[in-house]
């Protein structure tokens, strides 16, 4: 939300959480709008010269007082214009069991709140483009800059997830050799965040197909060859990076195009076999990264269950990979959860979809609470870290207050149970698609500052 204010003699736009890419003064980011004449400049032209007896010190004091007054007026005007409130919550903190090593839980806690660079390096086609590098902006419409990542850091985010599709950038000779240009570009953007002392998650994204990676017995050997090849190249590239870099095995592994793509039936042998295939691929991922040496021997790794769902990570057939002996809980569990579905993800045009969410409604909070409790009981209390590295609520007709309440509650519930979350941002704000954008990359600004403020309020 933009606010027009008087500030340091200019009309500007400022986010209430201090994020953005404009001129910076005293830790506030100001967006200069030069399309209109400024009232302050006009007033300054009419101001009389000081009396000859006035000292330079007096002039400086008067100027300082004027600036302070203008800034105070601006802040009051800004506060008055915003009608979005932030929930006051009191969540009970959950601890690990007595005697359990809590290192992984502390690591996840330090990640705080994350943001996804979605629809960027994960963009793809069914065939290689003549210019493979154009895929970075193919879906999101803009190339990533350091200025963007700096703004995300300034907004309070401590983690950036960078989803990467590799299959459009590998050789077709069966070796799956990654293009040097593509790998170098991914590394360049990783470094934007690392240089800001942020945590970074990289993965295999949107490569889930029968041509590359597909979790069935029919395609398991091909899938293993692909996963082994990708991580045998990516892991060594980042072997010297410290623990701020986190590697994620794969994104939402599932049987694409079947009746079980987005849900699993544990009474179906087909589903059970798919879960077992994912277990094998996760184990191969861990083994491959650990064998690449350097800091990869003990860095934290993320693994998903079937389609990265709650059920996929908590069913009786899912198994965490075995790690090398000296590592204690260095494998984290990854979950994606746009819940409750009818509010967070379901298209507005479908029956049952709602644009309303309330902390006082059991329908709004029960699924969130139940999910967080399940993850805590099965993993966190036993010292296993959990990262919900995709969550969010799409814009439904400007329901900013409801989305703000939702995001605030979701983060508070997760953090109370030792879980870290990453908002899914696809840079989409218009049209009939999934409008999850909260950071406008072209203008380099937080579009929904109150929503972000709500998340940050309970991020500790």
Q: Active site residue: 205, 206, 244, 336, which one?
A: 205
Q: Which residues pair with 421 in a beta bridge?
A: 113, 388
Q: Which residues pair with 7 in a beta bridge?
A: 10
Q: Which two tokens stand for residue 94?
A: 């959950």
In the residue annotation, 443 being an active-site residue is answered as: no
Closest Cα to residue 264, out of 230, 221, 307, 205? Answer: 307
Cis amide prior to 377 (ω within 30 degrees): no
Element containing residue 75 per DSSP (H, E): helix 56-81
Q: Active site residue: 248, 252, 334, 367, which one?
A: 252
Helices (H) and strands (E) in the chain, counts: 12, 14
Element containing residue 261 per DSSP (H, E): none
In the residue annotation, 167 being an active-site residue is answered as: no
In the residue annotation, 205 being an active-site residue is answered as: yes
Residues 6+ apart with CB under 8 A from 31: 12, 13, 14, 20, 22, 23, 443, 445
Q: What is the distance, to the nearest Å, from the Cα of residue 126 to the centroid of all Cα atoms in its chain? A: 26
Q: Active site residue: 248, 367, 390, 453, which one?
A: 390
Q: Which two tokens stand for residue 229?
A: 């090849």
Q: What is the Cα–Cα distance from 252 to 336, expressed in whole angstroms?
A: 8
Q: Which two tokens stand for residue 166?
A: 């590799």
Q: What is the Cα–Cα distance from 146 to 119, expressed in whole angstroms?
A: 17
List, by residue number, the catalytic residues.
205, 252, 390
């Amino acid at each position: 939300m933009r606010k027009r204010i008087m500030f340091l003699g200019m009309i500007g736009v400022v986010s209430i959480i201090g994020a953005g890419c404009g001129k910076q003064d005293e830790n506030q980011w100001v967006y200069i709008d030069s399309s209109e004449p400024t009232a302050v400049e006009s007033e300054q032209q009419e101001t009389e010269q000081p009396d000859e007896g006035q000292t330079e010190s007096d002039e400086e004091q008067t100027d300082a007082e004027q600036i302070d007054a203008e800034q105070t007026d601006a802040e009051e005007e800004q506060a008055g214009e915003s009608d979005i409130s932030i929930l006051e919550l009191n969540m009970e903190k959950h601890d690990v069991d007595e005697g359990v090593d809590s290192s992984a839980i502390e690591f996840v806690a330090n990640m705080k709140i994350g943001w996804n660079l979605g629809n960027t390096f994960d963009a793809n086609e069914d065939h290689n483009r003549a210019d493979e590098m154009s895929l970075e902006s193919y879906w999101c419409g803009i190339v990533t800059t350091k200025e963007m990542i700096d703004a995300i850091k300034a907004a309070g985010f401590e983690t950036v997830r960078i989803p990467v599709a590799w299959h459009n950038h590998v050789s077709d000779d069966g070796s799956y050799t990654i293009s040097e240009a593509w790998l170098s570009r991914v590394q360049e953007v990783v470094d934007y965040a690392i240089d800001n002392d942020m945590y970074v998650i990289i993965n295999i994204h949107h490569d889930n197909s029968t041509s590359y990676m597909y979790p069935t017995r029919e395609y398991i050997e091909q899938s293993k060859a692909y996963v082994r090849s990708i991580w045998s190249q990516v892991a060594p590239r980042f072997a010297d990076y410290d623990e701020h870099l986190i590697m994620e095995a794969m994104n939402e592994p599932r049987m694409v195009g079947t009746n079980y793509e987005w849900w699993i039936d544990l009474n179906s042998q087909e589903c059970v076999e798919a879960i077992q295939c994912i277990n094998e691929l996760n184990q191969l991922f861990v083994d491959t990264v650990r064998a690449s040496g350097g800091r990869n021997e003990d860095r934290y790794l993320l693994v998903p269950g079937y389609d990265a769902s709650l059920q996929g990570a908590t069913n009786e057939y899912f198994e965490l990979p075995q790690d090398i002996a000296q590592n204690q809980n260095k494998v984290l569990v990854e979950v994606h959860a746009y819940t409750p579905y009818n509010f967070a993800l379901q298209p507005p045009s479908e029956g049952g979809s709602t644009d309303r969410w309330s902390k006082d409604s059991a329908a709004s909070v029960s699924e969130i609470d139940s999910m967080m409790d399940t993850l805590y009981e099965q993993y966190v209390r036993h010292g296993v870290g959990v990262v919900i590295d995709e969550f969010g609520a799409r814009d439904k007709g400007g329901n900013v207050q409801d989305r703000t309440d939702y995001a605030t509650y979701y983060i508070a519930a997760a953090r109370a149970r030792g879980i870290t979350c990453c908002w899914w941002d696809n840079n989409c704000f218009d049209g009939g698609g999934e409008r999850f954008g909260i950071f406008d990359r072209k203008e380099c600004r937080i579009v929904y500052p109150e929503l972000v403020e709500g998340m940050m309020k309970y991020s500790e």
